[in-house]
Amino acid sequence: MNRRQFLKQCSAFTGALIFSSCSDSLISQKKTAKLTAKKKPNIIVLLADDLGYSDLGCYNSEYIKTPNLDTLAAQGIKFTSSYAAAPLCSPARAALLTGRIPARSAIYSFIPVETGHPIHLKTNEVTIASLLKNVGYETAHFGKWHLNSSMNPADDFPQPDDHGFDYSFGTCGAARDNTNGKSIDPDNYWRNRSAVGKLSGYPCEIVVNDAMNWLENKRDKNKPFFQYICFNEPHNPILEAKEMPKDIMKMYPPPIPEEDARYFATVTTLDQQIGRFLDKIKKLNLDENTFVVFASDNGPLRDFSQNPLRGYKSQCYEGGIRTPGIIRFPGYTKPGTECDVPISFVDFAPTFCELAGAKMPTDRAIDGVSILPIFKNKKIVRKTPLFWYFFRDFPQAALREGDWIMVARLDSEIPKTQHRFYCSNMHFIREKPLVSFELYNIKNDIGQQNNLADSKPERFKAMKKKMVDLHKEVIAEGYVWPDSDFEGTEWEMK
């Protein structure tokens, strides 16, 4: 069996998923539906990097073994329409922390992690870490940050502590050994603005070790906590087979092609480390009062990891933005629930604020809503439709409303460069309108194969107006990175 035959076989298993609205009740009968208990809940976000929609066992992956995340889903809610807020890393992370469409925060693209790139999450953005800290939470960040181009304070970019985190351990971008470029045994981690030096192990292992140590030995145990844990895996480059855990590689023997076996093993390694972390939560008797979210920052680069969706990372088709999404909150989420209500990263901050008794800012647009009504078997009401924008790959925008999703392109093709943001890109973003609109009923056509733009004219017209207006609004609000910020850097390219 060659690789293409094998992958086609994988596709056959993942091509059909069962979708439904939430089951009759998401509320466990053990407790009432009141979510603002006297004891504020702990909140944990577990964020994978480039994990595809069908890369977990509980999302119908036939080959990849993820027993710990499958168990987490069985203990809580598996969302089948869970979305990152962008099809790329830095914008998605900005939205998760702020509750805002990332273009409003002027995070338009991937931020290069070479010293000198000027784009960063500005300190006038209010993050969920700051909001939770204000109501008595202890806050900690672990792993990939990717909201500036350097974790070195000498480079004068805002760091996690400038955005409300009491503690930080991680990297600006991907974990790397700078001598060979590999992720194993990295040497580019920083802890609280100080370089850590050479470390031993896999990135997910290193991050979990520090997150567990913080829980046991460093946090104030009299305070509720927020942990934002961002993994490197399964982002490229994938390690060679000889560098992967031998016991895990054995799970994926021939005829599985080695390239796929290494990817599968990477996901299983991540799952194993998340299992270690969740076991620690239970051992410390924290699991009963802890709200846990698992998601991915965007869709995959790897073919077949997005099945049955169309598109990949960097595209605003479903394959670039829809990812696994799991929430467990014992006593409030009914075990084994599957829910197809659309949720997004922009919803996390409002949800966490409601859990903690905090308030979202009122002096700026907030695009997300609290999803806690879902747990009470109620509908969530959005003032702002779910909207995605990434200017570098087609289609560059999407808007979802109910079972309908519209995608569109920008008028004219952007100059061919990598996803890195160059000086000239700012003018492109500000000037180009949306064109070439497509319309899909995503409930009936999850693969986005049947464009209904011509056959549903009223729906098309209404959604097009909303999309055009919202696109204009967020672009107008976003900070304009001036040409002067790029002077003297390699990003000054015209």
The pLDDT value recorded for residue 14 is: 42
Residues 203 and 250 in one domain: yes
Residues 116 and 231 in one domain: yes
The pLDDT value recorded for residue 424 is: 86
Show the tokens assigned to 407.
Answer: 């995608």
Backbone phi and psi for residue 118, each to the nearest 5 degrees, phi listed first: -80, -20
Q: Strand (E) positions, 98-243?
A: 138-144, 167-171, 190-191, 194-195, 225-230
Residues 328 and 406 in one domain: no
The pLDDT value recorded for residue 23 is: 55
Q: Which of 375, 405, 437 is a domain's end point?
A: 375
- Looking up tokens 């992958």 gives 7
Over residues 48-72, the pLDDT tens digits come to 999 999 999 999 998 999 999 999 9
Q: Is residue 42 part of a domain?
A: yes
Over residues 88-144, the pLDDT tens digits come to 999 999 999 999 999 999 999 989 887 778 999 999 999 999 999 999 999 999 999
State the average pLDDT over residues 271-276.
98
Residues 203 and 73 in one domain: yes
Q: For residues 349 and 486, which has the higher predicted lDDT (pLDDT)?
A: 349
How many angstroms separate the CA atoms of 427 and 151, rounded?
A: 28
Residue 10 has pLDDT above 80, yes or no: no
Q: Is residue 335 part of a domain?
A: yes
Residue 494 has pLDDT above 60, yes or no: no
Q: Is residue 157 part of a domain?
A: yes
Over residues 435-453, the pLDDT tens digits come to 999 999 999 999 999 999 9
Q: Percent of the chain having pLDDT more than 90?
A: 83
Residues 413 and 314 in one domain: no
The pLDDT value recorded for residue 412 is: 83
Residues 358 and 420 in one domain: no
Over residues 24-45, the pLDDT tens digits come to 445 544 443 444 445 899 999 9
Q: Which of 326, 356, 375 is a domain's end point?
A: 375
Q: Is residue 1 part of a domain?
A: no
At 487, the pLDDT band (50, 70, 90 cuts) reads: confident
Show the tokens assigned to 106.
Answer: 């002027």
Helical axes 258-283 vs 67-75, angle rounded to 10°: 50
Domain count, the chain: 2
**SS3 state at 431:** helix
Q: Is residue 329 part of a domain?
A: yes
Residues 370 and 396 in one domain: no
Residue 461 CB neighbours (<10 A): 12
Residues 67 and 115 in one domain: yes
| DSSP-assigned letter for residue 347 | G
Give Cα 431 to chain centroid, integer Å. Answer: 28
Contacts 24+ apart (CB under 8 A), 187-194: 190/151, 190/152, 192/161, 192/167, 192/168, 193/151, 193/153, 193/159, 193/161, 193/168
> Which ranges constitute the DSSP H helices of 214-347?
246-249, 258-283, 318-321
CB–CB of 316/396 below 8 Å? yes
Q: Is residue 207 part of a domain?
A: yes
Residues 295 and 395 in one domain: no
**SS3 state at 482:** coil
Q: Is residue 25 part of a domain?
A: no
At 415, the pLDDT band (50, 70, 90 cuts) reads: low
Q: Is residue 91 part of a domain?
A: yes
Q: Strand (E) positions, 23-159?
A: 42-48, 77-83, 138-144
Residues 156 and 214 in one domain: yes
The pLDDT value recorded for residue 38 is: 54
| Helices and strands of the chain, counted as H and E runs | 12, 15
350: CATH: 3.40.720.10
Over residues 342-397, the pLDDT tens digits come to 999 999 999 999 999 999 999 999 999 999 999 999 999 999 999 999 998 999 99
Residue 20 has pLDDT above 50, yes or no: no
Residues 319 and 454 in one domain: no
486: CATH: 3.30.1120
At 419, the pLDDT band (50, 70, 90 cuts) reads: confident
Query: Of the candidates 268, 270, 295, which has an alpha carbon nearest to the alpha carbon of residue 57?
Result: 268
At 186, the pLDDT band (50, 70, 90 cuts) reads: very high
The pLDDT value recorded for residue 203 is: 97
| DSSP-assigned letter for residue 215 | I
Residues 336 and 225 in one domain: yes
Beta carbons within 8 Å of 402's beta carbon, 6+ residues apart: none
Over residues 311-342, the pLDDT tens digits come to 999 999 999 999 999 999 998 999 999 999 99
The pLDDT value recorded for residue 113 is: 85
Q: Is the whole-model pTM more than 0.85?
A: yes
**Structural domain range at position 140:** 38-375
Q: Which of 308, 340, 375 is a domain's end point?
A: 375
